[in-house]
Structure 1
Amino acid sequence: MPQVRFTIPTLSRTLIDIFIRFGLISLLAVSCFQIFKPFMSLILWSMILAITLYPLQTRLRGKVFDSEGRTATLIVFLVICVILVPSCMLGVALIDSVEHAMDIARSGRFQIPPPAESVMGWPLIGQRLYDFWMLAATDFTSLAEKLAPQIKIVVVALLGTARGVGVGLLIFVAALIVAGIFMAYGELGTRSAIQIASRISGPERGPRITALCTATVRAVAQGVVGIAFIQMLLIGIAFVVKAVPGAGLLALAVLLLGIMQLPATLITIPVILFVFATESVSVSSVVFAIYVFIAGLADNVLKPMLLGRGVDVPMPVVLIGALGGMVSGGVIGLFIGPVVLAVGYQLFWQWVEDAQQAVEGVEAIETVEIAEPTGTEARSDTRPAGG
């Protein structure tokens, strides 16, 4: 009995090979992503810090140390000192303040001065604020018992925020150390980034996209830190002039809140209430309150002015990317959002311009093809008779 042999066509065999390779590559990519996932936030922060600090590395190169590694180590050490020393001072001051407040509460020496009669005349909230203030001044114990559930919720939230800030500082230090390693090999990293971008988007667009991503990250980082520093100066000067207790630490807290993209009103509003509670309502206290409140909202005006500087895309694109990225991805989304949106914006308009150039090229070819017969006929008409 003859044996029947089944043969697989060449096209089917090629498709099977493609599917097998695709499946293996997908499995490898998923496995690599799962292994890399725990370190993704750390690596992203390291890249952002390395891109932001690398211009400082190029300026210091050869002036302090000849080695790239030693220069990067110096920068990392200085940044850690600038960040950690004030943070530790702020943490110690907060702990001391909490302990002092607990001692006062246990001794029963805590007293709130009664409100002035003029508070009752404030529009909308005057009467309610006066009654609440008077109850706190005359019978603070019963008020504390009444507000105990709300106070507990606030305290738990503050403790959770403090724990998150501590973990964030540790991640920041680790990311800064890794960023120093990246900066030590900055030129090699730049060439690698250009090669990757060129492989994805083509040799013509690769260097431009790499430069766009770098400029966007630096613009956002400098804008965030610069805005936080300006806001700290505006608010800190008012605290010092008004002789607010702990004015320096409060100004430092404003700086840290600005870097973390938290509103400065978390500091300014309690200070305004403290000033009104310890001083009588006067022209100076009202001016102080208005100025500090407006200064706490200054970042809403400064962001559109500073975030888009040095980037080859419109400022609203960077601003929308920063705000949307922060809402969807937290603080790190503040940097990733503008980069993604800026690259997408550039690729979209490049695609539009390529299509327009293709249409213009076709129209030019058609014009030449139409013009050539017309020129031939004109030449044939002008030939001399008998030619």
Structure 2
Amino acid sequence: MLPTPLSERMLSRGMLDVLIRAGLIAVLSVFCFRIFYPFLDLVLWSVILAITIYPLHVRLRDRIGNRSGRAATLIVLLSLALIMVPAYLLGIALLQSAEEAMNAVRGGNMRIPQPPDFVASWPLIGQRLHDVWMQAATDMTSLVQKFLPQLRDMSLLLLGKLAGLGVAMLVFIFALIIAGVIMAYGEKGHRSSEQIASRIFGLDRGPRIAALCTATIRAVAQGVVGIAFIQMLLIGIGFVLKGVPGAGVLALVVLLLGIMQLPATLITLPVIAYVLYTEGPSVATITFAIYEFIAGLADNVLKPLMLGRGVDVPMPVVLIGALGGMVTGGVIGLFIGPVMLSVGYRLFWLWVEEPPLASEPVAIEVVSGEPLPGAPGATAVAPVEIPRA
């Protein structure tokens, strides 16, 4: 029997109410996102830092009498000291180096050795590089005047990058402070994350998904940032012991390359070539070259050992997520990418491993159209059982 006009009006009104509510919720969500968007990176970095440092916070809290606020404050102050002191020293060193270079150029005290003859025999760029090098060795002033527009553009680009680096440093400092507040309420935050995950993925899967996200962020922090830091120490120690000019700056560049998932050999190989060219082959220089070459490849051994440790997904999934997130979202994508890919991978396999529903009859209601006794206008509803596919 066809639906009555009354049921049609009720169905249309119910559908209209649903559409209006969905539209209002969508508008509210868009407005909330636009208001929250300027603080998105700051909040994401705060959560990432809080999740990464929280195990240290728990150990320190247990040793000082279960005081979460004091433990979080100590960690934030110590982290700020570890960040600000090297950054200050690096800035002073860069300013002094730039000032010395400018004074040497203005005073004519900069001496560049003449290029060797074999440079001119290099394919494609050999002769041009030899000519520019020779002009720099004989007449630096005219060379600077010749390339003055390019030097001005490079200077502006460098200043822009330094300004961006300063803004990123400020964001990181504020994120570290907010992370301290999050760690102080870590237990409540953990319960809230499990409640949100349970609401989205179900009561049985929610806690496991929340634990997977936490473990993935910590694994990336250990396997990417931790490995980059270890590699920076290994390479930087060799630079310092050998007396390589600008050893601290080069070590910092190695750290940034490691975080960006670029090979450290981009720095170690030119430094090895520089040392061999300036000091010549000897036992010390050959030992230095072998050590730096091995240290530059150390991440290839450490990544399989540390990147997927403690995560309930294969290590290639985390690595692909880190690389893809880095390409699409920058440094913060380095953490977001593995989390999203790991959650998607785990949900996919939970769906695959879920057993199919057993066949059982399902009761549905069919309108018979027969009037009910004692109720004018009402029709009878007869249950009909059909097998479930």
* Same fold (TM > 0.5): yes
Tell me which moved more, 249-258 or 207-216.
249-258
CA offsets 1:19-73 (integer angstroms, 9 cap, x no match): 1111111121111111111111111000000000100011111312532111111
Q: Give the drift of 1:250.
A: 3.7
Structure 1: distance between partners of 2:152 and 2:269: 20
Structure 2: distance between partners of 1:167 and 1:268: 29
Structure whose residues are more often helix by fraction: 1
Structure 2: distance between partners of 1:264 and 1:157: 24
Aligned equivalent of 1:350: 350
Q: Give the drift of 1:143.
A: 3.0
Structure 1: distance between partners of 2:42 and 2:263: 25
Q: Identity of counterpart residues, as a percentage? A: 64
Matched, 1:64 2:64: yes
Q: 1:336 to 1:7 in 2, by over 3 A?
A: closer
Q: Give the drift of 1:274.
A: 5.4
Aligned equivalent of 1:21: 21
CA contact (8 A) 2:259 2:331 kept: no
Structure 1: distance between partners of 2:261 and 2:169: 15
Count of residue pairs the alignment pairs up: 355
**Equivalences for 1:285-300 in 2 at 5 Å?**
288=288, 292=292, 295-296=295-296, 298-299=298-299
Q: Give the drift of 1:339.
A: 0.2
CA contact (8 A) 1:57 1:71 kept: yes
Structure 2: distance between partners of 1:259 and 1:319: 13
CA offsets 1:299-331 (integer angstroms, 9 cap, x no match): 455444432221111111111110111111111
TM-score by length of 1: 0.81
Aligned equivalent of 2:386: none
CA contact (8 A) 2:261 2:323 kept: no
CA contact (8 A) 1:49 1:176 kept: yes
Structure whose residues are more often strand by fraction: 2
Q: 1:73 to 1:33 in 2, by over 3 A?
A: same
Q: Give the drift of 1:160.
A: 1.9
Q: Give the drift of 1:223.
A: 1.5
In the alignment, residue 12 of structure 1 is paired with which amino acid?
S
Structure 2: distance between partners of 1:303 and 1:197: 29
Q: 1:157 to 1:270 in 2, by over 3 A?
A: farther
Structure 2: distance between partners of 1:127 and 1:285: 29
Q: Give the drift of 1:81.
A: 0.8
Q: Give the drift of 1:134.
A: 3.0
Q: Give the drift of 1:293.
A: 5.9
Q: 1:200 to 1:14 in 2, by over 3 A?
A: same
Q: Give the drift of 1:157.
A: 2.6
Q: Give the drift of 1:358.
A: 1.1
Structure 1: distance between partners of 2:94 and 2:259: 19
Q: Give the drift of 1:162.
A: 1.3
In the alignment, residue 318 of structure 2 is paired with which amino acid?
V
Q: Give the drift of 1:194.
A: 0.5
CA offsets 1:314-373 (integer angstroms, 9 cap, x no match): 11111111011111111100000000000000111111112xx217x56xx9xxxxxxxx
Q: 1:340 to 1:51 in 2, by over 3 A?
A: same
CA contact (8 A) 1:116 1:281 kept: no
CA contact (8 A) 1:119 1:130 kept: yes
CA offsets 1:97-128 (integer angstroms, 9 cap, x no match): 11111111110111111234565677887666
CA contact (8 A) 2:236 2:247 kept: yes
* 5+ residue gaps, structure 1: 1-5, 366-387
Q: CA RMSD in A?
A: 3.0
Q: Give the drift of 1:242.
A: 2.0
Structure 2: distance between partners of 1:129 and 1:305: 43
Q: 1:230 to 1:124 in 2, by over 3 A?
A: farther
Aligned equivalent of 1:242: 242
Matched, 1:178 2:213: no
* 5+ residue gaps, structure 2: 1-5, 361-389
